[in-house]
Structure 1
Amino acid sequence: MHATRARRSAPFWGRLRPVSRWFNTAGACLPADHYMLPTHRRLPDVRRLIDQRESFVVHAPRRVGKTTSFLALAEELTAEGRHVALLVSTLAGADRPDEPGGADLALLHALEQAARAQLPSEQQPPPRPEAQPGGRLDAALRAWARALRRPLVVFFDDVDAFPGSAMDHVLRQLLRASLGQPAEAAPWTLALLGLHGGPERWSAAAGHTDPGAPEPILHAVRSITLPDFTRDDVAELYQQHTEATGQRFERAAVERAFALSRGQPWLVNALAKLLVEQLDVDRARPVALADVERAGELLLAARGTPLDRLSQRLQAPRIRAVFEPMIAGTRPEALPEEDILLVAQLGLVRQVPGRSMEVANPIYRELIARTLALASRASLPHLPPTWLRADGRLDLERLLDAFVGFWRRHGEALLTSASPEIAPYMVMTAFLDRVASGGGTLERAYGIGRGRMDLCLRYGPEVLGLTLKVWREGGADPLAEGLEQLEDHLAGLEARAGWLVLFDQRNGIPPVEERLAVSRRETSTGRAAVVLLA
């Protein structure tokens, strides 16, 4: 933590926001004194690259803290006295026409604005030199480097926001400004944050598409990523809050915060903000596991947040085409590479070595399922809570009766509320969401090739594990496989009983009211299973 900027009474989460510490995208000022992880931990390779006068790109999903981390690093580099460093937002240039002159002027203005906000007067850039459109940025950077007594380091943020060929014009100028120039007449290090495609884009922009070409570009430009927080990182950030306020986090609360977010920085930030600012948690007691669960639910329900905007993006057909097979548990046909790249850039998925692509964390997994079930939830009729006892506790037998009656009356019609591949899952989860809204939670597990969706309904002391499967045309009877899958699910929940729901979608089957049947079975280890053929 930078000694000159750390003020122990400040909340730690502000430094995790993926926006400029001085200006957000609307130009509004933000607090400067917040906690954060040391930059050498978040950016372990960057110092070495700068020492070696390397240029590099940083490509990582949205909201992982690229801006925050590099803004802090720029401040540290300047304060240490060896470099003049700053971070420049290029979002303004992205609004310019798709031609070099507009992008040049916008970036020059952004560069000068960032210098005024981040650097002292003696380190400001000199007046702009005369140059032609398409070369003004190159000329200005070299003139500034010559005027300084220290090496110039510039981090250009959000470069991938540029439209069309404007980005290529910018990259060509940055290449001319840095590569092959003497150190005293050029920026020492230039870095692009958020550029997807890595150094290959620099090479293509410069007109060198042959990987065997004898040009130094690919050797001079490195590509790095920014990782999510580890469990220890999250614990350290929470401990900083404890040291500042005296309020500690129970170990189970820290573990759950990491489990829900998988260390995704914006989610870690948002959970922390809810826990210590917006929830009515008494500072005299520790933050508990139940507090984190409540914060997670509030985060998913909040409006006007990045999660809300992600939910809106999930309605796009390209994105739905990626996630609907995941929910159905099937293996999708070949998806366009650009669609997979899109969901990766949004940070919604991760690739686990040796396994299929999966949703990045439980909060995003829940967000995706809820969003794709919106139409099904909106189509539900009024459901009186007949599944509750007089004391407000959940009665599992009454819940079974309620669902059987609901499915018999409304199931056939509601199956048209979502795409056929996922409709049964969406209607079932919409029903259980309605149940959970009275005072419980519903957790979902799904993924490519799983052949099912697993659910866990928690309502007070009651825990109900469910495995949902679809009997598709041409497929074998899924009962035996489903019982084994339910066994695995219940074992993970340490539950002795659960439901296996089999949705029959074969052609020529009787209507719902005729085929609907309930039976009682046991799994291979003797766990009680209610089997519902729907």
Structure 2
Amino acid sequence: MEKQFNTAGPSIPGDHYLLDPLTRVDLAEIESLIEAKRYFVLHAPRQTGKTTALLALMQHLNAQGRYRCAYANIEGAQAARGDVRAGISAACHAIARSIEDSTGERALYEWYRREGEAIDPRDRLTALLRHWSQMDGKRPAVLLLDEVDALVGDTLISLLRQIRAGYAQRPMAFPQTVVLCGVRDVRDYRIHSGDGEIITGGSAFNIKAASIRLGNFSEEETRALWLQHTEATGQRFDEAIWPELWEDTRGQPWLVNALGHECTWQDKELRKNRSLPVTLERYKAARERLIQSRATHLDQLTDKLREPRVHRVIAAILAADDREADALHEHVPLDDLQYVEDLGLIQSRPQWRIANRIYREVIPRELTYTTQTRITHEQTWYVRPQDRRLDLDKLLAAFQQFFRENADAWIERFQYKEAGPQLLLQAFLQRIVNGGGRISREYGLGRRRTDLFLEWPLDEAQGFLGPVQRVVLELKILHKSLEATIEEGLTQTAAYAEQCGAQEAHLIVFDRRPGISWDDKIFHRSATVGARTIGVWGM
């Protein structure tokens, strides 16, 4: 059977292209922590290979013969929420069964069903782990506990405190090491107890010795994973794909695998004929399909945007205006920045930015998805029949009127009001180009602008393999005088158009000053920078 790129669940060596999971963690550090009888945290964003790494670590430790290591996923206890009796019962059942599966120690599960289930839930997990640890006087127990942060309320508090309660008895009467695994570091747990008290994970589990984060693939690892497909099938990848793949994913494991799957499996022509190479345009088409699919991973990503801590950080990035971003920055705790970075949504170096190019596409699309569905403008209104080019002057003039009529009411609907004007334009453009063209986005703090790069194929039959209309749109919030903002914007627009190889360029200036009439805000003129003519639009 031909291997595939994996997009769901742990990777299986015989079924999936796979990098050695133990090379993605500092194995020497982990072994040192276990040797020193430490309890620690291993965390990573969803679908980054965390479970695959944990299973490989379990197999590695058991093969050494020094420890009895078990992996247990306790996500099922989430359904109990704050019900300690039901939650701890579900967690203990999962742990006892998983220890049997991992180590073959069936006697523990039999003991648990016979005696353990009768123990008070507030002490049941401690008793279970104590009994397991005492079953073998020679080999200490090591427990890898996955999806811990899926639990909520008093169930999570009880679990953490019961593990802490047995800590002093390790290794003879409690596991030598317990590794808490989840999306978040334990310090980021904000647990609402049944009596309304908010308890942090750090206070409920103050025995943590270290926090290890499973990172993304490196650029070399990203390429090496894809080249496993070439080695297995002979199908080649265009060399021009590699820099695009890196910028699109920045090594985010699910994205790397999902794009590989789209290129080599979902593209039926390439799947049927492995002698055909994966070209850059086929890759770009696969990328667009992935973005439009709203896959579970991308859906979970946008769900995080509703969290207040995430909102504070992402809003600062999307605002793309120094004054607003600086004001937001004053109210963004460093812990929030670290939390959002731990979730894999942003990179903090060299500056705050959304983590990769695909996330930069998905986030504004998702934030404006409902808005797009309510915009009545149609693609055909703006496509010139004689040459199938998008009429950007007509389109932007229409948006000016749309913005004048709708901005105040529609921007209030956005969760991210700080970036409302830019998001509304992006929603309008996305509505027009959906199913035909592509929009790439760049934005970040300190740049006072949002860059949009629109690509529109002029031959429907050839698509992006044929001639393409390329347009740059530079979005700026008025922050100085109008003329100073335009002067700065024209230089930036011309440079970005040159970088993208765009034939057309437009600068759009949003005037958000109170008390300015719409007649003064709305204008259209042209300006020349070098040999390039740039349209300038006031909103």
Alignment TM-score, normalising by the size of structure 2? 0.82
**Could you tell me how far apart the structure 2 residues matched to 1:504 and 1:175 are?**
56
Are 2:283 and 1:292 equivalent residues in the alignment?
Answer: yes
Correspondence list, 1:99-110, <5 A: 100-110=84-94
Q: Among 11, 16, 19, which residue is 1:37 paired with?
A: 19
Query: Over aligned residue pairs, what C-alpha RMSD do you find?
Result: 3.2
> 1:205 maps to which residue?
204
Ranges in structure 2 where 5+ consecutive residues have no aligned partner:
190-199, 458-467
Residue matched to 1:364: 359
Counterpart of 1:410 in structure 2 is 402
Q: Give the residue type in structure 1 aligned to 2:402.
A: H
Kept in 1: contact 2:400–2:522 (CA 8 A):
yes
Q: Does the 8 Å contact 1:302/1:308 carry over to 2?
A: no
- Residue 71 of structure 2, aligned match among 78, 84, 87: 87
After superposition, give the CA deviation of every residue in 1:124-182 in whole Å (9 maximum; x if it has no partner).
6561366543222222222222223533221101112222343332223223434453x
C-alpha spacing 1:72/1:393, structure 2 compared with 1 (3 Å): farther
Secondary structure of the residue that 2:509 maps to in structure 1?
A: strand
**Which residue pairs with 1:327 in the alignment?**
318
Name the structure where helix makes up a greater proportion of residues: 2
Distance 1:472 1:378, change over 3 A: farther
Q: Give, as a single letter, the amino acid of the residue that structure 1 aligns with 2:392.
A: L
1:225/1:402 CA distance change after superposition, 3 Å: closer
Could you tell which deviates more after superposition, 299-308 or 441-450?
Answer: 299-308
Q: Within the alignment, does 1:468 sit opposite 2:475 as a pair?
A: yes
Query: How far does residue 455 in structure 1 lie from its aligned partner after superposition?
Result: 0.6
SS in 2 for 1:154: strand
CA contact (8 A) 1:472 1:506 kept: no
Aligned partners of 1:495 and 1:345: how far apart in 2?
36
State whether structure 2 residue 435 is matched by structure 1 residue 443: no
SS at 1:56 equivalent: strand
User: Partners of 1:97 and 1:409 in 2: how far apart?
Assistant: 50
- Tell me how far apart the structure 2 counterparts of residues 172 and 238 of structure 1 sit (CA, whole Å): 44
C-alpha distance after superposition, 1:185-204 (max 9, x if no partner): 43232100125245996762
Residues 371-406 of structure 1 deviation map (CA, whole Å, 9 limit, x = unaligned): 2223442332233535434465425xx3213322x1
Contact 1:500 1:530 in 2 (8 A): yes
What amino acid maps onto 1:144 in structure 2?
A: W
Letter in 1 for 2:225: L
- Are 1:154 and 2:154 matched, yes or no? no
Tell me the SS of whatever aligns to 1:352.
coil
Residue identity in the other structure for 1:383 = E
1:308 matched residue in structure 2: 299
Deviations 1:199-218 (A, max 9, x none): 99676226x6xxxxxxxx45
Deviation digits for residues 24-54 of structure 1 (CA, Å, limit 9, x no counterpart): xxxxxx9974332213311123233334443
- Residue 112 of structure 1 is matched in structure 2 by 96
Moved more, 151-160 or 239-248: 239-248
Q: Does 1:75 align with 2:59?
A: yes
Displacement of 1:443 after TM fit?
Answer: 0.7
Q: Map of 1:54-453 to 2, 5 A cutoff? A: 54-96=38-80, 98=82, 100-120=84-104, 127-128=111-112, 131-148=119-136, 149-181=138-170, 183-194=171-182, 195-198=184-187, 204-205=203-204, 217=207, 221-282=209-270, 283-303=274-294, 305-314=296-305, 319-320=310-311, 322-330=313-321, 331=325, 332-333=327-328, 334-335=330-331, 337=333, 343-344=340-341, 346-353=343-350, 355=351, 357-390=352-385, 393-394=388-389, 398-404=391-397, 406-415=398-407, 416-419=409-412, 421-437=418-434, 439-453=436-450
Looking at structure 2, the residues matched to 275 and 487 of structure 1 have their Cα atoms a distance apart, in angstroms, of 34
CA gap 1:152/1:123 in 2 versus in 1, 3 angstroms: farther
Residue in structure 2 matching 1:522, options 505, 510, 528: 528
Find out whether 1:458 has 2:450 as its counterpart: no
* SS class of match (2:185): coil
Residues 66, 140 of structure 2: 8 Å contact kept = yes
Distance (Å, rounded) in 1 between the aligned partners of 2:521 and 2:400: 10
TM-score (norm 1): 0.82
* SS of alignment partner, residue 291 of structure 2: helix
**Paired AA for residue 527 in structure 2:** R
Q: Are 2:229 and 2:235, in contact at CA under 8 Å, matched by a contact in 1?
A: yes
Distance 1:43 1:408, change over 3 A: closer
Aligned in 2, Cα 1:484/1:152: closer, same or farther, shift over 3 Å? same
Q: 1:95 to 1:258 in 2, by over 3 A?
A: same
Structure 1 position 532 matched with structure 2 position 537: yes
Identity of aligned residues (%): 30
Q: Counterparts of 1:393 and 1:123 in 2: how far apart (Å)?
A: 73
> In 2, are the aligned partners of 1:231 and 1:263 still within 8 Å (CA)?
yes
Counterparts in 2 of 1:124 and 1:275: CA distance versus 1, 3 Å? farther
Which whole-Å CA distance do the structure 2 matches of 1:372 and 1:511 have between them? 26
Paired AA for residue 462 in structure 1: Q
The residue type paired with residue 294 of structure 1 is: A
Q: Secondary structure at the match of 1:434?
A: helix
Q: 1:349 to 1:383 in 2, by over 3 A?
A: same
Q: Which runs of no fewer than 5 residues in structure 1 stay unpaired? A: 1-7, 22-29, 209-216
Cα pair distance change 1:133/1:231, threshold 3 Å = same
> How many pairs does the alignment contain?
497
The whole-number CA distance in structure 2 between the counterparts of 1:515 and 1:94 is 52
Q: Deviations over 1:78-111 (max 9, x none)?
A: 2443432221112122333536544432221011
